[in-house]
Every structure is written in C-alpha cells, then in structure tokens.
Amino acid sequence: TQLLEQSPQFLSIQEGENLTVYCNSSSVFSSLQWYRQEPGEGPVLLVTVVTGGEVKKLKRLTFQFGDARKDSSLHITAAQPGDTGLYLCAGGEGGSEKLVFGKGTKLTVNP
C-alpha cells in the first residue's frame, strides 16, 4: 500500500508569513493533487501535478512535484486568514482511479 506522509501536521502562523507544507512518499505516483478543506465541507481541488519537476502557481500558492514523482510541496506566500483550513495531498496510483490521501496539515493563519 502506498503511503503519503504530510508535514507538518499542524501549523499556526501570523498573517503575512510564508509557509511550506510537504508531502512525501517512498512510492512513485502518477499524479499528485492538493486539496483544501474547511470544517463541515468537502475538499476543494487546488491543483493537479503530473510531471516530475513540475511547478504550478495559483496566485500566492506554489505547488511543486518532485523530479522522481515521490514528493510534493505547497508553498504559500504572505498567508492570509482566508488561507486557514486543512490542506490534503493525494496521490494517484498508476492504473487505478483511487487516490491515496495524506493525513493533512491543519493551517491556522492569525490576523
């Protein structure tokens, strides 16, 4: 079974700070997706990366897929209170439509 380790598990920062969330595995994934989930709601897809070394930017969020497609990172610049939420990474297993989810990073951005 493929596993995804997310770190840190919890992160509490002040508005305006930068942060990075990591998602690591010993397995290769065909794709890597990042989601953000708010309490009582379903996860919302932020980005999908499929190519090793790929970097995608979404406003203040930068996503990177490792060259070997075993790890990924999410960097947020100048965090805002609206960024608060649970960030989940999920890896696509080759030949399967199932996703393997990390345990999530609970981010709190204090005003």
Partner 1 sequence: GAVVSQHPSWVICKSGTSVKIECRSLDFQATTMFWYRQFPKQSLMLMATSNEGSKATYEQGVEKDKFLINHASLTLSTLTVTSAHPEDSSFYICSASTDYNEQFFGPGTRLTVL
The CB-of-29 to partner 1 minimum distance in angstroms stands at 11
Residue 34's nearest CA partner among 10, 11, 12, 55 is 55
Give the Cα separation of 107 and 111 in Å (integer): 13
Binding mask 82-101 for partner 1 (x = CB under 8 A): ------x-x-x----xxx-x
CB nearer to partner 1: give 75 or 103.
103
Give the Cα separation of 19 and 109 in Å (integer): 10
The CB-of-55 to partner 1 minimum distance in angstroms stands at 18
The CB-of-73 to partner 1 minimum distance in angstroms stands at 18
CB nearer to partner 1: give 16 or 94.
94
CB nearer to partner 1: give 97 or 111.
97
CB nearer to partner 1: give 31 or 62.
31
Give the Cα separation of 72 and 63 in Å (integer): 7
Beta bridge partners of 5: 24
Residue 47's nearest CA partner among 39, 37, 38, 56 is 56
103 binds partner 1 (CB under 8 A): yes
